[in-house]
C-alpha cells in the first residue's frame, strides 16, 4: 500500500480541516496516511520520511508570511533529499504573500522535491471586534474538488523523479516585505492578562498552539513564543486574558481586493 504523511501547524483549526480533507482524498486513492500536528510541540518531533510516497505539509498564513514556529520546523528538517512534498497553506482571503514560496525555497535547498501546492481560502482567524468578516465557515465541502485535484496532481508527479514545482506563481510574494512579521505583530492588539481574574482553569494552556503558557502558582504565565493568534483570548471564560480588539473590517475588506485572493492548485 502507498503511504503518506500529513504534517501541519494549525492555530485555530482551519489548516487542520484542510489536512482532514487531504487525508480522506488520499484514502480514496488507496494511500495509507499518518497525520502529525506540530501544535504545542515543545521540541521538533523526529520524523522518518524514508518510507513515504509523499509528504504533505500545511500551514496558515500570518501577515503574508510563514508563521514563526513553522519556519523553525522547516529550517530544522533533516534527511529529506529526494522526498516528494505537497505543500498546502490556508489564508483568510487576503493573500498568501511569500508563505509557500519561502517553504519551497527552503525545501529545495535541502534537495527535497515539491510536486504540488495548494493555496486554500479559510475563515480569517484574526480576532476582531465584531468577529471575522472574511471567508466565514471556509474551508468547506465546496473545496473538495480542488483538494482532490491537488492530491491527484501531487501524487502523480511524486512517481516521476524528474518532476518538481520550480516556483510558486504569484506576484504578492514579491511584496511581502511591505508586511514584515515583527512590525505586523507589534501593530496587533496587545494581549492583556489580569492575574486576579484567572481561575487557573488551563483552557488557555490547552488552546495555545505554541505551548507558550504555563501554570505558575495556579495562574497562567506566558513565555516569549506568542504568535498573536488570540486563541487564549477566545477561550478565556473570565476575561483574565483579554485584548483591546480593533474593528479592522473595512481594512480587511479592502485588502481582500488585492490580487491573489483566490484558492489555487499548482
Ligand atoms: C496573526 C494572523 C495573521 C494573519 N495574516 C494573514 C494574511 O497575511 N493573509 C491572509 O489572507 N490571512 C491571514 N490570516 C488568516 C489566517 O491565515 C487564516 O485564517 C488561516 O486559515 C488560519 O489557519 P489555522 O486555523 O489553521 O490557524 C492571519 C491570521 C492571524 C491570526
CA–CA gap between residue 157 and residue 164 (Å, rounded)? 7
Which pLDDT does position 189 carry in this prediction?
84
Region 254-259: what's the mean pLDDT?
83
Atom of ligand 1 minimally distant from the CA of 123: 19
CATH 3.40.50.360 occupies which residues in the chain?
Answer: 2-176
Pocket lining: 64 vs ligand 1, CB cutoff 6 Å: yes
Pocket lining: 93 vs ligand 1, CB cutoff 6 Å: yes
Q: Is a pLDDT exceeding 80 seen at residue 251?
A: no
Residue 86 main-chain phi, psi, to 5 deg = -110, 120
Tell me the CA distances in angstroms from 178 to 90, 106, 142, one per residue in order.
20, 21, 32
Q: Is a pLDDT exceeding 70 seen at residue 170?
A: yes
Instruction: From 40, 68, 92, give the residue whose CB has the most ligand 1 atoms within 8 Å, as the site to mutate.
Output: 92
Q: Which band of pLDDT confidence, cut at 50, 70 and 90, is reported for residue 112?
A: very high
CA–CA gap between residue 10 and residue 32 (Å, rounded)? 22
Ligand 1 centre and the CA of 126: distance in Å?
Answer: 6
Q: How far is CA 232 from the centre of its chain?
A: 17
Span 43-91, pLDDT tens digits? 667 888 888 899 999 999 999 999 999 999 999 999 899 999 999 999 9
Instruction: From 18, 40, 126, give the residue whose CB has the most ligand 1 atoms within 8 Å, as the site to mutate.
Output: 126
Which pLDDT does position 199 carry in this prediction?
93
Atom of ligand 1 minimally distant from the CA of 185: 1
Pocket lining: 11 vs ligand 1, CB cutoff 6 Å: yes
More confident: 173 or 45: 173
| Residue 6 β-bridge partners | 35, 56
Q: Considering only the top CATH level, what class is 2-176?
A: alpha beta
Ligand 1 centre and the CA of 77: distance in Å?
Answer: 24
Span 200-219, pLDDT tens digits? 999 999 999 998 998 888 88
Ligand 1 centre and the CA of 91: distance in Å?
Answer: 5
Which amino acid residue places its CA nearest to atom 13 of ligand 1? 92
CATH 3.30.70.20 occupies which residues in the chain?
Answer: 190-244
Pocket lining: 91 vs ligand 1, CB cutoff 6 Å: yes
Here the cell at position 184 is: 505586523
Ligand 1 centre and the CA of 63: distance in Å?
Answer: 7
Q: Is a pLDDT exceeding 90 seen at residue 42?
A: no
CATH code, residues 190-244: 3.30.70.20
Which amino acid residue places its CA nearest to atom 4 of ligand 1? 62
Instruction: From 39, 62, 189, give the residue whose CB has the most ligand 1 atoms within 8 Å, as the site to mutate.
Output: 62
Report the mean per-residue pLDDT for the chain. Answer: 91
Q: How far apart are the first and last CA of the chain?
A: 26
Ligand 1 centre and the CA of 2: distance in Å?
Answer: 32
CA–CA gap between residue 116 and residue 106 (Å, rounded)? 15
Atom of ligand 1 minimally distant from the CA of 228: 1
Pocket lining: 124 vs ligand 1, CB cutoff 6 Å: yes
Amino acid at each position: 500500500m502507498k503511504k503518506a504523511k500529513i504534517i501541519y501547524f494549525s492555530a485555530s483549526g482551519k489548516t487542520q480541516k484542510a489536512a482532514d480533507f487531504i487525508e480522506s482524498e488520499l484514502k480514496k486513492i488507496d494511500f495509507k496516511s499518518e497525520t502529525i500536528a506540530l501544535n504545542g510541540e515543545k521540541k521538533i518531533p523526529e520524523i522518518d520520511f524514508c518510507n513515504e510516497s509523499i509528504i504533505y505539509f500545511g500551514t496558515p498564513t500570518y501577515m503574508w508570511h510563514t508563521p514563526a514556529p513553522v519556519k523553525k520546523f522547516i529550517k530544522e528538517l533533516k534527511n529529506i533529499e529526494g522526498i516528494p512534498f505537497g505543500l498546502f497553506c490556508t489564508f483568510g482571503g487576503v493573500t498568501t504573500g511569500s508563505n509557500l514560496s519561502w517553504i519551497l525555497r527552503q525545501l529545495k535547498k535541502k534537495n527535497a522535491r515539491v510536486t504540488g501546492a495548494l493555496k486554500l481560502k479559510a475563515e480569517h482567524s484574526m480576532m476582531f471586534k465584531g468577529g471575522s468578516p472574511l471567508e466565514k465557515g471556509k474551508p468547506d465541502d465546496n473545496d473538495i474538488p480542488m483538494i482532490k485535484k491537488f492530491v491527484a496532481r501531487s501524487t502523480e508527479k511524486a512517481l516521476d523523479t524528474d518532476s518538481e514545482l520550480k516556483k510558486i506563481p504569484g506576484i504578492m510574494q514579491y511584496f511581502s516585505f511591505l508586511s514584515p512579521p515583527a512590525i505586523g505583530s507589534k501593530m496587533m492588539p496587545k494581549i492583556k492578562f489580569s492575574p486576579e481574574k484567572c481561575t487557573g482553569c488551563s483552557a488557555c494552556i490547552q488552546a495555545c498552539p505554541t505551548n507558550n503558557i504555563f501554570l505558575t502558582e495556579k495562574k497562567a504565565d506566558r513565555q516569549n513564543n506568542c504568535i498573536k493568534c488570540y486563541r487564549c483570548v477566545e477561550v478565556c471564560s473570565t476575561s483574565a486574558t483579554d485584548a483591546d480588539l480593533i474593528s479592522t473590517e473595512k481594512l480587511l475588506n479592502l485588502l481582500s481586493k488585492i490580487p491573489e485572493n483566490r484558492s489555487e492548485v499548482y
